[in-house]
Structure 1
Amino acid sequence: MNERDCEINTMHGYQVDVYEESEDFYDISYDADDPILRYYDWRNVYGSCVLPCLHQISHYVMQFIIANMIFCLGSKIRARYMSSKHSITHLLSIGCGCYLLYNTVEYGLWYWFLLFFSAYLLFKVSHIVEQWFGFEFVISGYCILYLVTCEIVEKNANVWHHIRGILMIAVMKIISLAIDIRVKRHIKEQFSILGFLGYVCCPANCIFGPWSSFGEYLPEPCPR
C-alpha cells in the first residue's frame, strides 16, 4: 500500500468516525427515570400550563358575560318601564361595548373609532342630500379601501392582526345598515348617532361576532 492509499484510508476513517460521532450526538435516548423528566408530570403541567391558560381566558370571558348581562337586564327593565326611551338601550349598548373594547383590545383601537366616525359622516351626508340609492356600494367601497389602507399604513403586524377581526365585524355591520336603510323606511326614520354607535358597539357581537343586522339589534320592531 503506497502512501497515497494510506492517506485516503485515513481520511475515510476520519469521515466515518465523524459521522458515527454525529450519529451518537443526535441519537439521544431519553430515560424515563431522569429526574428532569420526572419533574414534568401531569401535576406540574396542570399547574404551570393549564391553570394559567384558564385564568387568562376566564379574565376575558367573565368581562364578556358581565357586560352582556348588564346590557340584557338594562334593556329588559327599559322595555318594561320606559318602552318609548330607546336611547337608554343605545346608551347601555355603547357603554358596555366600549368597556369590552377598551379592556380586550390592547393596540390599535383608534382604527375602530376612526372607521366609526368616518362611516357615520358618510351616512349623514347621504341623508342630507337624500341620495340613498346606490349608497351601499359607496359605503362598501369605502370600507374595503379603509381596511386596505390601514393594513398598508400599520407597520406592526401584531397590532394589525390584533385589531382586524373587530374591524371586519364593524365593516359588515356598516354595510348591512346601508342596505337596510335603503330598503326599510322605518330604519331610515330611526337612524341616529346613538342608534348607529349602539348597533356597532353592541356587546353581544362587537368582539367575537357573529354579525347581526340592525333590525335584530333594535329593542323591538318599530312601527312603520
Structure 2
Amino acid sequence: MIFYDDSADLEEHRVKYEFEDEDEYEYEYEYEFEENQHQLVGDIYNHCLYPTVSDALSYIIPLLIASVSFRILAQSRYIPVRVFHGGSIVFGLWVVQRYASECLYLFLTLVTVTYLILQLPRHCPRSPAVGFSCICIMLYGEKWMDPTSWHKVRGVIMIAAMKVVAVAFDEVVAPLPGALEYMGYVFCPATSIFGPWISYKDYTALYGAVNWSLQRVLLAVGYLLLALFFLSVSNCWAEWIFADSKWKWFEAYGDALSFRCSHYFISYTSGSLAVLGGFSSLASTVTKPWSIELPRSLVQVVIHWNIPMHTWLKIYVFRRSHVRFGKFGAVLLTYAASSLLHGLNFPLAAVLLSLGFYTYVEYQLRFLLAYVFDACIAAKNCADYKCIHKRTSSNCWWVSVINFIFSGLTVFHLAYLGLMFDTSEQQETGYSYTHTMDKWSSLGFASHWVVLATYFAYFLIK
C-alpha cells in the first residue's frame, strides 16, 4: 500500500498515472492503425494484385509465344514467301480461335467479302464498297450478336476493318495483294487481337528481315511490365485510393483514371506483341500516358491516346475529306468514322463526337490567342528550335500560367468524359444511353457547358 501525506501528493500521483495510461493508449492505437494498414495492403495483394497479374500473364503468354513463333518464321531465309504468308494465316487463325472464337465467322466473312469486292473491275467504286461492307458487319455485331460476346470481340473486328480499308484505299499507289498475302496481313498473329494497326507495307517488310537484338527484347519486356503495372492500377489501386471519396468530381476522376489505365494495359500489351512479332519500335508505339495524364491540350490527348489509329484516321479520313468539307467537316467525319469503327455504341459515339467538337473549339481558340498575343499557347507545343512566337514559357511567366490553366481544363474534361466507363454491371455488355445520360447529368453536364462557353469566347474574340 502507498500512504499520502496530503491531497497535493495524491493529485500529483493521480495525474502521473493518467498520463501514463493515455500514452499507453496512444501507443496501442498507433500500433493497431499500422497493423490495419499492413493488413489492408496484404488484402489488396492477395485478393486483387496477385490474381490480376497472374491471370493476365496466363492470358498473354500464348499470344507472346505465337508472336515469337511468327517472327522466327518471318525471318527465316530458307522458306519461300508463300510459306511466310501461310504461316501468318495459320498462327492468326489459331489466335483468333483461342481468344475471340465468338467472332471467327464474322472475321472470315469480313476478309472474304472485302477481298471479293477488291476483285471487281477498276471502274467500280471498290474502296467505298469495302468501307460500307465493314460498317454493315459492325452494325450486325452491334445489333444481332450477344452483347457480352460482341463487347469482347469488337476490337478484333475493328483492327481487321482498319487493315482492309487501308488496302482498299492504297490501291491507287500500290498493287493489290493476292489472296494469300491479303489474308496473311489481316490474320497476322502479332496484331490481330490487340492491334496495333500496321500498314501492309510494314507487314511485307518483315519477310527475311533479321532484326533480333537484346535492345528489342528489353523493349518488349518493358512494354509488358508497363502493361501489368497499369492493369494493377486500373483493377486495384485506383479503386482503393478513390473508394471513400465523397466529392463526386474526385470519384469521377477515379473512374476515368481506371478506364484510362485499362486502355494503357491494352496498348502496351499490343506494343509488346508487335515488337516480338518483328515490327519496328516506331510502329509498335501505341500510346504515351504522360501526355494524357499531364496534358497540354485535348488535341495532344487525342493524338497520343492511340497513335496508330490516329495515323490511320488522318491518312484515310481526315485528309481525304478536308478538301471537300473543310476543317470542321473533316474533324466531324473523322470522329464519326472512329465511332463507326468502335461499333456505333452510343456512349463511345457520344464521347468521340464530343471530343471532336471539344478539340476543334480548343484548337481554334488557342491558335487565335497565340496569334493575337504572339505567345506559345497554341494547342500543339512548338519545338524549341522552331518556335516562331515572341513570348514563350522561358521568357514570359503568364505563358506558363495560361498553358497550365488549359492543362487543368483538359483533366477536367477527361474526368467528365471518362466517368461513364465505370465498373458497373454494364461493363461486360456495353454501356447504355440511360447510363451515359445519368452519369453526365450527375455532374450537371458541366463539361459541355464549359465548352460552349469556350466557343462563345472564341466567337467574341474572332
1:61 aligns with 2:56: no
How many residues matched?
A: 175
1:218 aligns with 2:217: no
- Which one-letter code corresponds to 2:148 in the other structure? N
Choose from 161, 172, 180 the match for 1:182: 172
Q: What is the root-mean-square deviation in Å for CA atoms of aligned residues?
A: 2.4
Choose from 84, 90, 93 the match for 1:89: 84
- Which one-letter code corresponds to 2:138 in the other structure? L
Q: Distance in 2 between matches of 1:169 and 1:220?
A: 19
Q: Distance in 2 between matches of 1:55 and 1:38?
A: 24
Change (3 A) 1:106 1:145: closer
Q: Distance in 1 between matches of 2:199 and 2:111?
A: 16
Q: Corresponding residue for 1:122?
A: 117
Q: Corresponding residue for 2:41?
A: 42
Deviation at 1:220, TM superposition (A): 6.2
Q: Corresponding residue for 1:52?
A: 51
TM-score by length of 1: 0.69
Q: Distance in 1 between matches of 2:113 and 2:125?
A: 18
Q: Distance in 1 between matches of 2:75 and 2:206?
A: 11
Deviation at 1:109, TM superposition (A): 2.8
1:200 aligns with 2:200: no
1:140 aligns with 2:131: yes
Kept in 1: contact 2:117–2:126 (CA 8 A): no
Deviation at 1:69, TM superposition (A): 0.7
Q: Corresponding residue for 2:103?
A: 108
Q: Distance in 1 between matches of 2:138 and 2:155?
A: 11
Change (3 A) 1:146 1:107: closer
Q: Distance in 1 between matches of 2:124 and 2:203?
A: 23
Kept in 1: contact 2:74–2:206 (CA 8 A): no
Q: Distance in 2 between matches of 1:117 and 1:147?
A: 15
Q: Distance in 1 between matches of 2:101 and 2:133?
A: 25
1:149 aligns with 2:149: no
1:168 aligns with 2:168: no
Q: Corresponding residue for 2:269?
A: none
Kept in 2: contact 1:173–1:213 (CA 8 A): yes
Change (3 A) 1:39 1:92: same
- Which one-letter code corresponds to 2:126 in the other structure? F
Change (3 A) 1:143 1:66: same
Q: Distance in 2 between matches of 1:137 and 1:108?
A: 24
- Could you say what secondary structure the match of 1:107 adopts? helix
1:131 aligns with 2:122: yes
Deviation per CA, 1:172-217: give whole Å up to 9, x if none. Answer: 1001111222321xx32xx222111110011121111111121111
Gaps of 5+ in 1: 1-31
- Could you say what secondary structure the match of 2:75 adopts? helix
- Which one-letter code corresponds to 1:140 in the other structure? G
Bigger CA radius of gyration:
1
Deviation at 1:33, TM superposition (A): 5.8
Q: Distance in 2 between matches of 1:100 and 1:132?
A: 37
Higher relative contact order (CA 8 A, sep 6+): 1
Kept in 1: contact 2:88–2:188 (CA 8 A): yes
Gaps of 5+ in 2: 1-30, 208-462
